[in-house]
Chains A and B, each alone.
Chain A
Amino acid sequence: MSEPENLAYYIYALVEAGSAAPVVEGVLQNTQVDSVPVGAFNVLTSLVPRSLFDRAHEARKTSDLAWMAERAAAHHRVTCMAVREGPCLPLAFGTLFSSQSLLAAWVHSKTEKLISALKQIQGKVEWCVSIEENEGQLNTWLELNDLELQRLVGNAADAGVGTVFLLSKLIDKARTMARTKHFKLIETKINDRLGLTEWPVIVERRRDGVPSWSFVAAQSSGSQELILSTISALGFDLGPSGVSLRVTGPWPGYAFAQSVLREETQHV
Chain B
Amino acid sequence: MFEHLPTAGSTETVSLVDLLDRLLHAGVVADGQIVLTVAGVDLVYLGIRALLSSVETASRMTLVPSGASSR
A-B interaction: yes
Interface residues of A (CB under 8 A from B): 8, 11, 50, 53-55, 60, 62-63, 65, 68-70, 72-73, 75-77, 79-81, 83-84, 90-98, 102, 105-106, 109-110, 125-126, 128, 204, 206-207, 212, 214, 219, 224, 228, 246-252, 254-255, 257-258, 261, 264-268
CB of B39 within 8 A of CB of A266, answer yes
- Cα(A228)–Cα(B23), bound, Å: 22
Count contacts between A and B, CB distance < 8 Å.
Answer: 176
A240 to B14, CA, bound (A): 27
Q: Within the assembled complex, what's the spacing in Å between the Cα atoms of A75 and B24?
A: 12
Task: List the A residue with the shortest CB-CB distance to B39.
Answer: A266
Please name 27 pairs of A and B residues whose Cβ atoms are closer than 8 Å in the assembled complex, sorted by A: A63-B51, A65-B54, A69-B58, A73-B19, A76-B5, A81-B6, A83-B8, A84-B10, A92-B28, A92-B30, A92-B33, A93-B23, A94-B29, A102-B38, A109-B38, A128-B22, A204-B25, A206-B25, A248-B18, A248-B70, A249-B14, A252-B8, A255-B26, A265-B30, A266-B39, A267-B30, A268-B32
Minimal Cβ-Cβ distance residue in A for B7 = A250
Report B-chain residues with C-beta under 8 Å of the C-beta of A76: 5-6, 19, 23
Q: Please list the residues of chain B having a beta carbon within 8 angstroms of any beta carbon in chain A.
A: 1-2, 5-10, 12, 14, 16, 18-20, 22-39, 41-48, 50-52, 54, 57-58, 63, 70-71
Contact yes or no, A248 B71, CB < 8 A? yes
> Are B34 and A92 neighbours in the complex by a CB distance under 8 Å?
yes
Query: Do A102 and B43 touch (CB < 8 A)?
Result: yes
Name A65's contact: one of B19, B29, B45, B58 (CB within 8 Å).
B58
Cβ contact within 8 Å between A219 and B38: no
Kindly list 8 other residue pairs between chains A and B, CB separation below 8 angstroms, not including A73-B5, A94-B32, A249-B7. A63-B51, A92-B28, A95-B33, A248-B70, A249-B14, A254-B22, A254-B23, A257-B28
List 4 A-B pairs, minimum CB-CB distance, nearest first. Answer: A94-B46, A92-B29, A55-B47, A266-B36
Which residue of the partner chain, among A63, A96, A212, A249, contacts B45 with CB atoms under 8 Å? Answer: A96
Select the residue from A11, A55, A83, A204 with max chain B CB neighbours within 10 A: A55
List the A residue with the shortest CB-CB distance to B52: A207
The winner among B10, B28, B47, B70 for most chain A CB atoms within 10 A is: B28
Main secondary structure of the interface of A (DSSP, over half): mixed
- For A247, what are the chain B residues with a Cβ–Cβ distance below 8 Å? 71
Decide: B43 and A97 in contact? CB cutoff 8 A. Answer: yes
A264 to B33, CA, bound (A): 7
> B38 is contacted by which of A60, A105, A258 (Cβ under 8 Å)?
A105
A98 to B43, CA, bound (A): 5
B26 interface neighbour in A60, A75, A97, A204, Cβ under 8 Å = A204
Contact of A97 with B46 at beta-carbon distance under 8 Å, contacts A249-B8, A249-B12 already known: no
Least CB distance from A123 to B in Å reads 11
Q: Are A94's CB and B45's CB within 8 A? A: yes
Instruction: Considering the complex, give the chain B residue whose CB is closest to the CB of A55.
Output: B47
Decide if B24 touches A96 in the complex (CB within 8 Å).
no
CB nearest neighbor in A for B36: A266
